[in-house]
Structure 1
Amino acid sequence: MTLATTASAYSAPKTVLVVGDSLSAEYGIARGAGWVALLEQKLKSEKIAAKVVNASISGETTSGGRARLPALLGQHRPDIVVIELGANDGLRGLPVPSAEANLREMIKQSQAKQARVLLVGMRMPPNYGRAYTERFFNMFKAVSNDTRSPLVPFMLEGVADKPTLFQQDRLHPTAQAHPIILNNIWPQFSSLIKKQ
């Protein structure tokens, strides 16, 4: 073992802050079954020293996340911030430009504290109309490109088209869906944490 590997083996654990909505807050499923809890388990199995703080709240919008973020950054001093917000803005038909401005500001605040950001994207159901759904989906890509933050284009890839993977409300994934969600997020997340 070289001096460098010894140093990395004993480096301080990274802090990961997840700021999300019900999709990250284990809505309707057992505690420990959501993708954030599964992420923590995977980090341990991969022997990556990290502490995961799940600051997700069911019903959270981008404006709510933006309002809460400064205190969270000050309290936890994260190395990585995962932003999984926007679904509730979209479901309420809120203006895309305001959601976009909130996401940009959250990334700016996180980067100002030397945290790397992973942006998690979402799609709206087709009944919201093609113009809105496309504008909403493309917003995440634009924010990702402009802020140089990696993007998970659609966290429900492989889930959204399978009704059996949703709870009775048809909005929230079942526990069985969360390993798939983690698999969608892990490739971008792992490359980010390994750069730290």
Structure 2
Amino acid sequence: MNKKNSIFVITGIFLICTRFWVSFGTVNIDISNDIVGYILIFLGINNMKELNSRFKKGMFLSLAGLAGAILSQYLIARDWPVPETMYSIAIGISVVFAIYFTYYYTEALVMEARIQEKTAVTRNYQLTWLLMSAGIFIHYFAFKSSITMWSILVEALIAVITIYYCFLVFSTSRQLYED
């Protein structure tokens, strides 16, 4: 694994875990598009699939996540009788794939640390992942398609935790692969 692959995966994780919606009338556009995120993840994790079985599963999940992201964008773009429901379904698809992929990526790094006998490097990964995924999950179920001051604050908190997760993974994964 090299630095470029790590940056692709971490940037993709940031894009799939955060939502930055801009509304133009009745049209909502996600600036941090999941499609771009999953493409970056696939480009980065494709070279890591030989390291262990969880990286390989992560590669397949990135392709499934890409298909889910395309489906989500389709659901949002269509003119539905109840657009809020379709928006909630689209975000639900996105949430499931984001949590599922980040779990397997975290576990792949932990497994690689065990193989290299460097488990201290990944000590905080699972707790940080748990905080990030819990925030994403709670945000989805608490607010679904509504945009309120509280939902914006929770989204900001998720962005901060996601940034922390990405920096933690990037700084410690260098210890795994650049010694």
- Shorter-chain TM-score category? 0.3 to 0.5
Which structure features the higher share of helix residues? 2
Which structure features the higher share of strand residues? 1
- Which TM-score applies when normalising by structure 1? 0.31
- Which TM-score applies when normalising by structure 2? 0.33
